[in-house]
Structure 1
Amino acid sequence: MQTFFRYNWMVREQWYRWCEEVPQEELLKERVGGVGGILKTLFHIVDVEWSWIQTIQGKPDFQEDFSRYATLDKVRELDARFRLDVEPFVLAWHEGLERKAYEDHLPDGRIVIDAWGEVMRHTIAHQIHHIGQLSVWSRELGKPPVSANLIGKGLIEIEGRTNSL
C-alpha cells in the first residue's frame, strides 16, 4: 500500500515539474475528458486523496474550490498542506486496517459498507487513472509525458543493496 502511495506522490511531483515548462493558459485550458484540464486534474487528485483518507477515519471532510487554487504554486501548496494529514496515516498503515469497515451514506439514503483496504486502493487507482489523462494531454501539447513506470523509481529496497535515490 505504502509503495503505491509513495509512487503516486513521486509521479505527482514529476508532473508538477513538467507543468513548470508549460504556459499557465495551457494548464488552465478546458480539455476533453477528466475534470477538464491539466491543473484542475492535479488539484482534483490531491483533493480526492485527502478527502478519502479523512472520510474513512471519520474526520471532517470538505470540498475545496478550484478557483482558489488556479495556479501551479497554489496546487502544490494545497498538496503539501493535505500531505500533512495523509502521509502519517499511509505510513502507519498495517494489515489490521485492510478489512476495517467504512460506512458510506449515499445521497439516496442507502448505506454501503466497504473495507478500508478497498478505499485505499481506489484512492491509488484514482490518481493513476487521471495521470493517464495527463499523459494524453501532454502528447497533444507535443511534450513527452512523465513516465508512469514504477520500475526503476527506487521505491522498494533490494536485499543487500542501498538505493541511491
Structure 2
Amino acid sequence: MINLFSYNWQVRDEWFEWCKHVPDQELMKDRVGGMGSILHNLLHMINCERIWISQMEGSPLSKKDFSESTTLEEVIVFSNETKKYTEQFLTSLEHERTDKLLTITSRKGTVYKLPYKKVLLHIITHEVHHAGQLSVWSREIDRKPVSSDLIFREWQ
C-alpha cells in the first residue's frame, strides 16, 4: 500500500514543480470540472488524504481551507506535512490488520463500516482521478502534463 502512496506523492510533487512554471492566474483560474482550479484541485487531493487518515487514526480533523489568497507554497507545505502524517499512520498500520473497520455516518444518517484497506485504496484512486483532471487542464493551456506512468517509476 505504501508503494502506491509513494507513487501518488511523486506525481503530486512533480505537479508542484510543473506549477512553479505556470503563472499564478492560471493556477487560480476557474475551470470546468474537478474543484474548479488547478491549485484548488491539488489542495483538495491533500485535504481528502488528511481527512481520511485522521478519521482512521481517531484524531481531530485537520484540513486547509482554500481561498483566493492560498499560495502554491502553502499547498506544498501542507502536502509535505500530510505525507509525514500519512507515512506515520501507514507504518503503524503495518503492524495491525488493514481489515480493521472505520465507522462513519453520512450526512443523511446512514452508518457505514469500512475496512481500512478499502479506505486506503479510495484515497489512492481519488488522487489519481484528480491528477487526471490536472492533465486535461494542462493541455488546455498548451502545457505538457506530468507523466503518471507507474511502469517507469521507481518504487520506494
What's the TM-score bracket when you normalise by the shorter of the two chains? Answer: over 0.9
What is aligned with 2:102? 102
Give the Å deviation of 1:87. 1.5
- Percent identical among aligned pairs is 38
Give me the whole-angstrom Cα distance separating, in 1, the residues matched to 2:136 and 2:152: 22
The answer (yes or no) to whether the contact 1:28–1:70 under 8 Å persists in 2 is no
CA radius of gyration, larger in: 1
Q: How big is each residue's C-alpha offset from its partner over 1:4-44, in whole Å with a ceiling of 9 and x where there is no partner?
A: 00000000000000001100000000000001010000010
SS in 2 for 1:103: strand
Structure 1 residues not aligned, in runs of 5+: 157-165
In the alignment, structure 1 residue 85 sits paired with structure 2 residue 48 = no
Give me the whole-angstrom Cα distance separating, in 1, the residues matched to 2:50 and 2:62: 10
Give the Å deviation of 1:68. 7.5
In the alignment, structure 1 residue 43 sits paired with structure 2 residue 43 = yes
Give me the whole-angstrom Cα distance separating, in 1, the residues matched to 2:83 and 2:68: 18
Q: How big is each residue's C-alpha offset from its partner over 1:52-83, in whole Å with a ceiling of 9 and x where there is no partner?
A: 00111211114421118621111001112222
Q: How big is each residue's C-alpha offset from its partner over 1:83-119, in whole Å with a ceiling of 9 and x where there is no partner?
A: 2311111234438422101101112222111100000
In the alignment, structure 1 residue 153 sits paired with structure 2 residue 153 = yes
Structure 2 residues not aligned, in runs of 5+: none
What is aligned with 1:67? 67
Give me the whole-angstrom Cα distance separating, in 2, the residues matched to 1:95 and 1:125: 24
Count of residues in correspondence between the two structures: 156
What is aligned with 2:118? 118
The verdict on how the C-alpha distance between 1:35 and 1:84 changes in structure 2, with shifts beyond 3 A counting, is: same
Runs of 4+ in structure 1 deviating by more than 4 angstroms, as ranges, are none
What is the CA RMSD across the aligned residues, in angstroms?
1.6
Scaled by the length of structure 1, the TM-score of the pair is: 0.89
What is aligned with 2:12? 12
Q: How big is each residue's C-alpha offset from its partner over 1:110-149, in whole Å with a ceiling of 9 and x where there is no partner?
A: 2111100000000000000000000000000111110010
Give 1:121's aligned amino acid.
L
